[in-house]
Amino acid sequence: MLKANSRNIASPKIGGLKVTLTDCSSKPVIANGQTYFAIQTRRQELADDANFAKLSEDEKRLAIRNEHLAAAANLFRATQTEEKLRRDGVQGKRQANQTHHEVGSKVRQTMS
């Protein structure tokens, strides 16, 4: 178990990615939160793996396809938002957040 006030915090592997937790010895609540979310993420990944293993081959292909479509849609949304922010010269956090929301809504509407 990771300790919030430790100077030598482990770097667990989650889903094949190495996760580096910041040494927050002066802020134990943050380190505890990081540890909690790292553990919960890994638990969910293990549960997802177990559920995935129970699927038929067709269901597995469909699940993988849906994941790829969702990732592609998210990348498309991010690139479109970035371009709109640049093109329109969006300034300020509030306006940027509004632009992100509008572009995301349009992408979701187009996909449905």
Question: Who's near 27: CB < 8 A, 6+ residues apart?
Answer: none
Considering the domain architecture, whether residues 96 and 64 belong to the same structural domain is answered as yes
Considering the domain architecture, whether residues 69 and 106 belong to the same structural domain is answered as yes
- Output the furthest CA–CA distance in the chain (Å, rounded): 50
Radius of gyration (Cα) for the chain, nearest Å? 19
Considering the domain architecture, whether residues 46 and 69 belong to the same structural domain is answered as no
Tens digit of pLDDT at every position of the chain (112 positions):
444 444 444 455 555 555 555 555 567 888 888 889 989 999 999 999 999 999 999 999 999 999 899 899 999 999 999 999 999 999 999 999 999 999 999 988 888 7
Considering the domain architecture, whether residues 18 and 45 belong to the same structural domain is answered as yes
Cα 44 off chain centre by: 13
Give the Cα separation of 21 and 15 in Å (integer): 15
The answer to the question of residue 3 being in a domain is: no
Considering its fold, how many domains does the chain have in total? 2
The answer to the question of residue 29 being in a domain is: yes
Domain range spanning residue 102? 56-111
Q: pTM of the entire structure?
A: 0.54
Considering the domain architecture, whether residues 71 and 100 belong to the same structural domain is answered as yes
Q: What are phi and psi of 9, to 5 degrees?
A: -85, 130
